[in-house]
Chain A
Amino acid sequence: MSYHKITITINGVTDRVDVPSHMTLLQMLREKLALTGTKNGCAAGECGACTVLWNGEPVNSCMVLAVECDGAQIITVEGLAHDHQLDPIQEAIIAAGGVQCGFCIPGMLISARALLDRNPDPSDYEIRDALVGNLCRCTGYLRLIEAVKEAARRGEAEAAPA
């Protein structure tokens, strides 16, 4: 088994980690670093439960090798809140009643956060399109979509000039 030493910044904290070639980013997060917020739902890039931000872009971390992330900036669900203040998308999902079992939520939040970062006022279709890779079996999606709209509205209100 070949190992590689990588330097990786996760939720703002830089670490040096020794990883085997075949270890995925998801496995590194969960099993080497005990960052268990990101979930394993299929290991095949289909369910989205493992979605994290890789240099600002959402990616299925089960489809990325840890060794590919040398020098990368990773944001996981644990990094969404700042100074114990929830991100607007986290608050919106709670308020909309979009949390049930919670297993899809970390990946869903990352995809939603990334959408709002690139498109602060998404349409209903654009939201569905952005979340189509995050499977949810509990909620039926409507409250999640509503939460993204609400977070967008809040973002607009906050960004509006005084």
Chain B
Amino acid sequence: MLTPHPGLPEFDYIKPATLAEASQFLAQHAGEARAFVGGTDTFVRMRDGFWKDKYLVDVKHLDGMNTIAFDPLGGLTIGAAVNLNRVIVSPDVQNRYPVLAEACHTVASYPLRTRATIVGNICNASPAGDTIGACLVLKGSLRVHGVNGLRVEPLSTFFLGPGKTKLQRGDVVTAVHFPIPPKGYTARYLKLGRNTIGDLAIVGVTALGYRDDDTPSGYRFRLALASVAPIPLAPTRAEMILSDKPITEGTIAEAAEAAMEACTPIDDVRGSARYRKLMVRNLMRKVVTEVWKVISRQS
């Protein structure tokens, strides 16, 4: 039974001066120290008594955490401390990666988005994270600073289970990086919550599509599902259907069915497995149709 504290439990606030210091502190105090940026997940879980860390390590002022940088050859790098509102209004995001802005905008509310971050959403590894699908279809990867220095973690292999990721003790994620997306692509995120705006995702589907002469259908899709499996799910059979056959209303329906079959949602307080599966099918059909309408118009 949920019996949260009235406020936050006691802990010590640590503000390391460098990434090296941060990694070292976190490694040394593994199990009783946690890095945080926006705090929206961290504070809730500490209040609920799930997380009992003695130290909260603020990393949002460290190198590279606060910049959004776009390189026409390399792609987009968003610092781990950049809040969702900043992502939404960034011209580079809006012009080149608009699905990121779209996904960010569905999160909670404006004041919460002042604190929430994409990297936080990812590291929290909630199966329901709204931005994760967009990051997956954009083939995002994380820049991680650990006790052994810098490394890159591709998102496609980053999630291990609900709340479980490849992060090790001492790791601090400094940024998320997206390569240049396929030419002429379109991507959309569709989310189903309980309220009209602002809820968690009961089901979230992301679809990215682009022309690809190497496939039988002439197109390729990257799909991602949130909230319907232990980890964010890329329904590969659905993607293959959209590559292998000419794309019609029927193909899209078939792909949507395949996506539905691929997911393994649970019954929980927010929704039943039965409903979630049917919504995966319906939303997938909708989102793929919308993307298809745009990319098929291009000559």
Residues of A within 8 A of B (CB): 1-2, 4, 20-24, 27, 43-45, 48, 51, 54, 57-60, 63-65, 67-68, 111, 114-115, 128-130, 132-134
Contact = CB atoms under 8 A, between A and B. Distances in A.
Contacts of B110: 58, 111, 114-115, 129-130, 132-133
Nearest to B13: A21
Contacts of B40: 45, 63
Counting chain A CB atoms within 10 Å of each CB, which of B39, B43, B56, B109 scores highest?
Answer: B109
A65 B37 CA distance: 11
Contact of B108 (A22, A43, A58, A133): A133
Given A24-B7, A44-B44, A48-B109, A65 B115 contact: no
A67 B15 CA distance: 10
B260 to A, nearest CB: 29
B8 interface: yes
Contact of B111 (A44, A60, A129): A60
Contacts of B112: 45, 60, 63, 133
Interface in B182-197: 195, 197
B10 A1 contact: yes
B246 interface: no
Interface of B: 4, 6-13, 38-40, 43-44, 47, 56, 58, 85, 108-112, 114-115, 195, 197-198
B198 A58 contact: no
A22 B39 contact: no
Contacts of B13: 2, 4, 21-22, 65, 67
The interface residues of chain A, by DSSP majority, are classed as mixed
Given A2-B13, A21-B10, A24-B7, 7 more contacts: A22-B10, A43-B7, A44-B47, A67-B13, A111-B110, A132-B195, A133-B110
Counting chain A CB atoms within 10 Å of each CB, which of B4, B7, B111 scores highest?
Answer: B111
B6 A54 contact: no
Contacts of A54: 114
A48 to B, nearest CB: 6
Nearest to A132: B198
B109 A65 contact: no
B181 to A, nearest CB: 27
A49 B13 CA distance: 25
Given A114-B110, A129-B197, A20 B10 contact: yes
B56 A21 contact: yes
B259 to A, nearest CB: 28
Contacts of A68: 58
A59 B111 contact: yes
Given A21-B13, A59-B111, A111-B110, A45 B56 contact: no
B114 A27 contact: no
A125 to B, nearest CB: 9
B6 A43 contact: yes
Contacts of A24: 7-8, 43
